[in-house]
Amino acid sequence: MRKRLTLIALLLGTLLPAQAFTLTEGRECLSLGGPWHYIVDPMDTGIYKYQMQLQKPTKRYFADRHFYQDKTRLIEYDFDKAPTLQVPGDWNSQSERLYFYEGSLWYRRTIDFRPVPGKRCFLYFGAVNYKCMVGLNNTILGTHKGGFTPFWFEVTDVLKEGENSLILWVNNTRGTDEVPTLNFDWWNYGGITREPLLVSVPQTFIRDYRVRFDGSEIAVSVFLDGGSGSVTLEIPELGLRKKACGGKDGVAEFRFKASPERWSPEHPRLYDIHLRCGDDALKDRIGFRTVRAEGEQILLNDKPVFLRGVAVHDETVSPNPGRCRNEEEVRALLELAKDLGCNFLRLAHYPHSEQMVRLAEEMGFLLWEEIPCYWNINWASEETYANAENQLVEMITRDYNRAATIIWSVANETPLTSERMSFLSKLIDKTREMDPTRLVSAAIQKEKPDLYHPVIADELAKLTDLVSFNQYIGWYDGKPADCDSVRWTVPSGKPVVISEFGGGALYGNHGSEAELFTEEYLAEVYRKQLPMIMGIPGISGMSPWCLKDFRSPKRPLTGIQDDFNRKGLVDEQGRRKMAFFVMQDFYRAKAAGLSQ
């Protein structure tokens, strides 16, 4: 087994550099969504011989059987006759035999292509969980590791006119050195979970751009690929049209005074921005706002804001939930949060889709985005750190221009060790290096075992902009009535955000307020938690755990959990529990400025 894992690691090679590839209106994109043929390969037969030696490239599954119809040759796979899975989408929710499957699976689809002279082509994947190797026409393009962030390969010289064979080896096996690691409390959905695209651009194109706003001045950096040139920037609603030349490094810089309307949850104002360089044109929608921590307050556009939040998993509202695949499924989640009275979402515990982030921005949600340094990963491993940093860089790079995102989070519920402190300190430094304009945090835990006098003393809180912690008094610790006697000790001088609290209940399960997993018990947890939380010095927001019941193999209680974490305010079908209305009443009163 160790030899096999080592061979796979060598085969996967190094992580890709996280260079942005902006996908907005104006890009010529062909969706590669739809049915893909698949082969389940738990023993990696498509890569190895039976003695665990690497197959010759021409004998791996990348050598598509579709293109080798010689019936006199022994070939023991056939994509044409294999079943199909819908892409984007996870494999676990689409096939009963793949419900618990963790391992390798091969995807294949063909692309009919007609080249256009002077155009470059890229394959873009929104996310593939967790490791993948991509092959086109029996040429291995490269690899990627990390299940929630985008990556791409240039295929200009590999595509051919007519039919092309695109094949992915995808593996979602959990690993000790991976991010997340072996143990985590959500479903390990495998597959091509976010949309794949074939993108066509001119020889010189705008790879990425970044906008910064300090309250009086807008700065824009435009990154060119394939050469230099003159860049035109327009923001029509501000009456702005500017030109700048890209330098030898291919970067064009703009800086000018402006007074745009500020983006906020109450007024999520977005502006069209147009960028052009030669034959390449890009259009996007962006917002302008400022955010900072000052003393024990979070200031949005220089005014204090209270984060009326909820934590969300990227999982559909459905009797058979899986990864969100389209705008309709994302909107269903966000509409629930909007009706709850939220102005803030904690997107846990990994980067959610770009579609989720953009739609949340349009609807007026402030966002906390997070990478899956969850519980106890291998803090001493340089390879694990490189993986975590790469996921962080890819997340920040993708969402740098989103006004909704105000917090980058580097971890959740991690142990107090020197190795962990060093690991997360480096991630925090990297975050600030890439983006000094946003807040940095991590969800930590209370430490002192005294139920009535909990203490937040994690040294990590000295490095973050917020004191954010998870606590479950009334569920994992004590009973709901104990909340009345709890007095918290938290670091002073920073805003406090309760990143998780709550309990579990099965929708429709009724009983006394003393009976676990009843709606009545969960409602009482919330009724007791809220006044306790509001008594914490510096309290500036909260995100109860969580919006919706979600799948987790750690939750096997028959008749109650049945593979679902039941801490949602609504169940997997979107049916509202009693606690939903307790939280809704609280947020409505808070938004109206009534004392709580």
Instruction: Tell me how far apart the alpha carbons of residues 6 and 113 are, in angstroms, rounded to a whole number.
Output: 37
The verdict on residue 196 lying in a domain is yes
Which position has the higher pLDDT, 246 or 533? 533
Which pLDDT score, from 0 to 100, does residue 57 have? 63
Residues 169 and 226 in one domain: no
Domain boundary among the residues 202, 228, 258 is at 202
Quote the CA–CA distance of 347 and 367 in Å, as a whole number.
7
Sequential DSSP letters for 156-223: TTT--SEEEEEEEEEE----TTSSS-S--SS----EEEEEEEEEEEESSEEEEEEEEE-SSEEEEEEE
Query: Which pair of tokens denotes residue 342?
Result: 């939220």
Does residue 246 sit in the same domain as residue 265? yes
The answer to whether residue 399 is domain-embedded is yes
Q: How many domains does the chain have?
A: 3
Q: How far apart are CA 7 and CA 491, in angstroms?
A: 47
In a domain, 364, yes or no: yes
Query: Would you state the structure tokens that stand for residue 283, as one six-digit string?
Result: 């259009």
What range does the domain containing 106 cover?
Answer: 2-202
Q: Evaluate whether residue 303 is within a structural domain.
A: yes
In a domain, 353, yes or no: yes
Task: Please say if the pLDDT value at position 7 is more than 70.
Answer: no
pLDDT average, residue stretch 460-478 = 96
Q: Please provide the DSSP assignment of 64-96 as one string.
A: -GGG---TTS-----GGGS-EEEESS-STTT-G
For residues 546-560, give the mean pLDDT: 97
Do 548 and 465 share a domain, yes or no? yes
Same domain? For 170 and 226 the reply is no
Radius of gyration of the chain, Cα coordinates, nearest whole angstrom: 25
Q: How far apart are CA 59 and CA 47, in angstroms?
A: 8
Do residues 359 and 222 both lie within one domain? no
Residue 593 has pLDDT above 90, yes or no: no
Do 349 and 362 fall into the same domain?
yes
pLDDT level of residue 24 (50, 70, 90 thresholds) = confident
Last residue of a domain, one of 180, 202, 224: 202
Given a cut of 50, whether residue 10 has pLDDT beyond it is no
Q: What is the pLDDT of residue 423?
A: 98
Does 302 lie in the same domain as 272? no
| Cβ atoms of residues 78 and 141 within 8 Å | no
Backbone phi, then psi, for 368, in 5-degree steps? -110, 120
Over the stretch 149-181, which tens digit does the pLDDT of each residue have?
A: 999 999 999 999 999 999 999 999 999 999 999
Say whether pLDDT at 358 is over 60.
yes
Residue 302 lies in a domain: yes
Residue 170, CA distances (Å) to 63, 158, 177, 188, 319 in order: 16, 21, 18, 13, 26
Measured in degrees and rounded to the nearest 5, phi and psi for residue 393 equal: -60, -45
Do both 27 and 99 map to the same domain? Answer: yes
- Record the pTM: 0.94
Question: Are residues 322 and 427 located together in one domain of the fold?
Answer: yes
Amino acid at 236: P
Whether 98 and 61 map to the same domain: the answer is yes
Report the CATH number at residue 36. 2.60.120.260
128 within some domain: yes
What is residue 555's predicted lDDT score, i.e. its pLDDT? Answer: 97
pLDDT score of 444: 94
Q: Do 156 and 171 sit in the same domain of this protein? A: yes
pLDDT band at 248 (very low <50, low <70, confident <90, very high): confident
Instruction: Provide the percentage of residues in the chain whose pLDDT is more than 90.
Output: 86
Mean pLDDT of 360-382: 97
Closest CA to 491 of 461, 530, 460, 529: 461
**CATH number of the domain to which 476 belongs:** 3.20.20.80
364 with 277, same domain: the answer is no
- Give bridge partners of residue 129 from the DSSP assignment: 191
Indicate whether 115 pLDDT > 90: no
Give the residue from 171, 202, 233 where a domain finishes.
202
| Average of per-residue pLDDT across 195-208 | 95
Structure tokens, 3? 């030899």
Structure confidence at residue 69 as a pLDDT band (50, 70, 90):
low
Q: Across the chain, what does the average pLDDT equal?
A: 93
Confirm if 447 and 458 have CB atoms less than 8 A apart: yes
Look at residue 596 and tell me if it is in a domain.
no
